[in-house]
Structure 1
Amino acid sequence: MSQPLLSLVDTDPAELAVDAIVIGLHSQPDDGGALLPAAGAESIAAAFDGKLTSTLALLGASGAPGEVTKLATLGTIAAPLIVAVGLGDEPSGSAPQPEKLRRGTGAAVRALAGSATVALALPLPDDEDAPGVLRAILEGALLGGYKFAGYKTKPQPTRREPVSALQVHVPDAADEAARAEVTRAEVVARSVRQARDWVNMPPNELRPPSFAEAVVAAGEQAGLAVEVLDFDELKAGGYGGIVAVGQGSEALPRLVKLTYTPAGVTDPKRVALVGKGITFDTGGISIKPAAGMWEMKSDMAGAAAVGAAMLAVAALKPGVAVSGYLAMAENMPSGSAYRPGDVITMFNGKRVEIYNTDAEGRLVLGDAIARACQDGTDYVLEASTLTGGQVVALGKRIAGLMGSDAAIELVRAAGDKVGEPAWPMPMPEEVRKGMESDIADISQTNSNLDRAGHMLQGGVFLSEFVADGVEWAHVDIAGPGYHSGEASGYLTKGGTGVPIRTFLQAIDDLA
């Protein structure tokens, strides 16, 4: 897994000898929609004697967010190609919103696949917002250019390799704060790209044992402490949820724990990241419809995000103790699969009556959350592609968020900062009442098989496994964890890596 080489430059953008240079372009609705070069492109606009925007307009540019327009420079500047990316209306402040820049940069770099070296001359403010804006540009560039290697046996004549080197224009290329942002962006992007790779792998190539092996190898290389429980150890340890879900597959389940301990920090805050790792979800005995089932290879996106986030934590070394718990299983129908009507005993001793084997994620997560709480933690932050109800309620870009007030606000604020929005949802008492069981402590879904409040049922169930005094947040990424449409902004088709950047920002905020 490689990503472009990233560097800072302070040479005049018009003099940069690169294959292409990216500039921003604003629309001006108060001036009849006239185009305006964004800050950072002044010397390039001057080289065109005031005709740059009119030429781009002739090529169809409107300045709409994410729109990409290419213009051959014919020797006017050192770079042979200008790529103007729309940034929307002229901002009232010194720079557009970071997320707008992140998306625009991603779109531009992806459009330049096949170019070896690309320079970015985009707007940077000269105030306290500069680090956040630079971070958005760097992340957009590194993530927008991602492409999964795939499994094709013949070279594809239309395939163009991603950009191999990126230069970002800044006022001072030696500035330590800016250089620190480059280092952080490289670490974070590598983490997100790793999660995307795991999610995009076909399910026959990434089953629980091989997924565990891949995470363990990456964790050990990063210097993390690693623990793996196999099927026999899970049974002996009382992990009834993970065992039940995984016992129907010949590729038996695993629980992987990765641990980072900060050096020289006395009594650090403790965070547990928990991820759902269903490497393929057929629905089990309650089998899913065939249409679109292939996309269930992405049902391990939460665990992929947690594992990859831990790799970034190991590199960034925050002053917070962080552990990652990846609950891995393959939900298959077979003679050994668990059934509707079963009663299973979870890791914390609670007994659960099963109504629908397709609501398996909450079972593996319940065990992992209970284990995290037993190990000792101040916060549990959990990510999972848990319910179709999340997509129905909030769509493909906004995650559902439930939990304790403090953790909800921590995750919501972090997500807003990095462009991974999450919307707080309630956990009404009537939802819990609907999950009462006649023979066990709780039923796994609504006892009437009523899908009303389906997303809320998942959060309510998970709350049963959080220890008293632990702040916790459940992030339902059923939509945001996998992008099934055409590439958009810095999101390419397939795995997204959500919510890695949210979790890393939340850890920074706690530190």
Structure 2
Amino acid sequence: MEFPVKTANPVKTETPCLVIPVFKDGDLLPAAAKIDDASECLIQQLIERGDFNAKLGNVQMIPFAPGLPADRLLLVGLGERAKCQEGAFCKAVDAAFAHLAQMSIDAAAVTLTDVPVPDRDAGWKAHKIAESALRASYRFTQFKSEPAPAPSLAEVTLLISEGDDTDAATLGARHGRAVGDGINLARTLGNLPGNVCTPRYLAAEAERLASESAGALTTEILDEEALEALGAHSLLSVGRGSEEPSRLIVMRYNGADDANESPHVLVGKGITFDTGGISLKPGAGMDEMKFDMCGAASVFGTVASVLAIKPKINLVAIVASAENMPDGRATKPGDIIQTLKGLSVEVLNTDAEGRLVLCDALTYAERFTPASVVDIATLTGAAIIALGHHATGLLSNDDDLALDLLDAGETAWDRAWHLPLWDEYQEQLDSNFADLANIGGRPAGTITAGCFLSRFATQYPWAHLDVAGTAWNSGSQKGATGRPVGLLTRYLLDREDELRDTTIEGE
């Protein structure tokens, strides 16, 4: 999908559909006012007669545009002007593109950058517009024998009022397109069934990204023999009951001017299907355990976004991938395993397997002398109880890193919430027989899972994102969301800005 930016009068814009945002109260926005003047007060008449309610997220198609070269108008409600913050803007934009994606048109023009959002410029709004358009056009139909036609929308022109905003909007749209494509890649990987998306499939996906990157990305795939030689017995223990071999997937992007610049590391949990192992899950809803690799999927999506944007940073992406199945070789409750770090773990519940693959990956990350490490995992159902499906859980051993991630989430509108990582919680992981247990009981389950991981992240600034409540939707809208690709990409772009500022100060 293309996103050209134009400083143009909407009254003179030829397009199959012109998107006009409208507040419930106050004057029309500049573009809407021009359209209204040129169309004999069409918009005002619709509002005054009650034919259009500008409630937030409401849309109304006007199948004609008298006095205008546009074929149609799509009015989008913004709600009350005083309440128009980031969330309201994103909701309105999503509503507009959800409607456009259902139409048989190949192009549209939008005046959505007219909408005033406090502390957000034209670049931010252009980013959210491009990202929303791509998310709305996404369809997962590759296993349908007769798939519905894909959305035909191929070009969205961003009409801006101020010429000075052109560069910012163009850059924002480019970043939004990269993030939108990355989100959709993560959604596809998450939506694939477990009989297709296996650890070996994810390894092949890494190799595909590298082969299409023109040398910007390199990969290393550690198979079970290599993992055994390495000493990654914790990761291997999770996949022992499966016919599918486990993999540790490493992707490296070196974009910094200084090749020796410490990289930022992303670590993704890639459990391609989770039965719970011997601690078998209930049957109801178990099909959704194909989404247990959505942390890994978000890492792949972020790598794809980075390859499109090409920021001047160094990045290492690590995916610890296994399939958790019960058979005669599977790890049993009460087993004690040795981790790559040298700590022994008593496995009290084999369904707490994500932390067992991540702990070896976090230890492996030490070799890169990272500037920061962020792991992403669908780790605990407790995160859903604590935060629902709106916020990603965040735990960290470094307050500055936590704040950077929180800020990135606010900017990307892919938000997280900071939970404590106090020493008092660590006591819940005490074991009579090993260095630590892999669970700490029902109280504070998300926090004790973070405490477990923190034991393996002692050599660098580290944060953990628990996306169990945000990585996929259930019910009639079942499917992967692609979160937190937006947050992660924004975090990495902020690190590029930080590195640039430091370089300038040092000159």
Normalising to structure 2: TM-score of the pair?
Answer: 0.91
Q: Aligned match of 1:431 in 405, 408, 425?
A: 425
> Is this contact kept in 2: 1:147–1:162, CA < 8 A?
no
Aligned to 2:197: 206
Q: Aligned match of 1:116 in 93, 100, 106?
A: 106
1:64 aligns with 2:55: yes
Question: Measured at CA, do residues 80 and 494 of structure 1 come closer, stay the same or move farther in structure 2, by a change above 3 Å?
Answer: same
1:441 aligns with 2:470: no
Single out whichever of 105-114 and 388-397 deviates more from structure 2: 105-114
Question: Measured at CA, do residues 241 and 413 of structure 1 come closer, stay the same or move farther in structure 2, by a change above 3 Å?
Answer: same
Counterpart CA distance in 1 for 2:448 and 2:140 is 35
> Is this contact kept in 2: 1:22–1:83, CA < 8 A?
yes
State how 1:427-506 maps to structure 2 within 5 Å: 427-446=421-440, 450-468=441-459, 470-484=460-474, 494-506=479-491
State how 1:367-386 maps to structure 2 within 5 Å: 367-386=360-379
Counterpart CA distance in 1 for 2:146 and 2:444 is 47
Aligned to 1:507: 492
Single out whichever of 48-57 and 421-430 deviates more from structure 2: 48-57
1:166 aligns with 2:151: no
Q: CA RMSD in A?
A: 2.2
Counterpart CA distance in 1 for 2:199 and 2:385 is 29
Q: Which amino acid aligns with 1:477?
A: V
Single out whichever of 176-185 and 302-311 deviates more from structure 2: 176-185
Aligned to 1:233: 226
Q: Which amino acid aligns with 1:464?
A: R
> Is this contact kept in 2: 1:119–1:167, CA < 8 A?
yes
SS at match of 1:434: helix
Aligned to 1:415: 409
Aligned to 1:144: 136
Single out whichever of 123-132 and 247-256 deviates more from structure 2: 123-132
> Is this contact kept in 2: 1:40–1:123, CA < 8 A?
no
Q: Cα distance, 1:71 vs. partner? A: 1.9
Single out whichever of 347-356 and 135-144 deviates more from structure 2: 135-144
> Is this contact kept in 1: 2:139–2:150, CA < 8 A?
no
> Is this contact kept in 1: 2:21–2:75, CA < 8 A?
yes
Q: Which amino acid aligns with 2:70?
A: A
1:330 aligns with 2:318: no
SS at match of 1:184: helix
Structure 1 residue ranges, 4+ long, deviating more than 6 angstroms after superposition: 125-128
> Is this contact kept in 2: 1:343–1:440, CA < 8 A?
yes
> Is this contact kept in 2: 1:231–1:254, CA < 8 A?
yes
- What whole-Å deviation, never above 9, does each CA across 1:40-96 have from its counterpart, x for those lacking one? 32222223322414415657543222222222225442223222222221148xxx4
- What whole-Å deviation, never above 9, does each CA across 1:87-132 have from its counterpart, x for those lacking one? 221148xxx4344323322221121223211111114379972222
Single out whichever of 367-376 and 477-486 deviates more from structure 2: 477-486
Aligned to 1:405: 399
Aligned residues: 488
1:105 aligns with 2:93: yes
State how 1:181-200 maps to structure 2 within 5 Å: 181-200=172-191
Q: Which amino acid aligns with 1:211?
A: L
> Is this contact kept in 2: 1:8–1:173, CA < 8 A?
no
Question: Measured at CA, do residues 84 and 269 of structure 1 come closer, stay the same or move farther in structure 2, by a change above 3 Å?
Answer: farther
Counterpart CA distance in 1 for 2:201 and 2:50 is 50
Question: Measured at CA, do residues 43 and 160 of structure 1 come closer, stay the same or move farther in structure 2, by a change above 3 Å?
Answer: farther
Aligned to 2:207: 216
Counterpart CA distance in 2 for 1:345 and 1:58 is 72
Q: Aligned match of 2:11 in 1, 11, 14?
A: 14
Unaligned runs of 5+ in 2: 497-507
Counterpart CA distance in 2 for 1:58 and 1:336 is 71
Counterpart CA distance in 1 for 2:343 and 2:147 is 54
Counterpart CA distance in 2 for 1:254 and 1:430 is 34
Question: Measured at CA, do residues 467 and 495 of structure 1 come closer, stay the same or move farther in structure 2, by a change above 3 Å?
Answer: same
Counterpart CA distance in 2 for 1:22 and 1:339 is 58
> Is this contact kept in 1: 2:5–2:166, CA < 8 A?
no
State how 1:13-92 maps to structure 2 within 5 Å: 13-28=10-25, 37-56=28-47, 61-73=52-64, 75-91=66-82
Counterpart CA distance in 2 for 1:397 and 1:290 is 26
Counterpart CA distance in 2 for 1:5 and 1:377 is 36
> Is this contact kept in 2: 1:39–1:123, CA < 8 A?
no
> Is this contact kept in 1: 2:123–2:171, CA < 8 A?
no
Q: Cα distance, 1:162 vs. partner? A: 4.5
> Is this contact kept in 1: 2:262–2:314, CA < 8 A?
yes
Counterpart CA distance in 2 for 1:162 and 1:59 is 32
Higher helix share: 2
Q: Which amino acid aligns with 1:503?
A: L
SS at match of 1:27: coil
- What whole-Å deviation, never above 9, does each CA across 1:157-197 have from its counterpart, x for those lacking one? xx562522211112349933332223222222211111111
> Is this contact kept in 1: 2:264–2:373, CA < 8 A?
yes
Single out whichever of 266-275 and 451-460 deviates more from structure 2: 266-275
Q: Cα distance, 1:334 vs. partner? A: 1.2
Aligned to 1:131: 123
SS at match of 1:397: coil
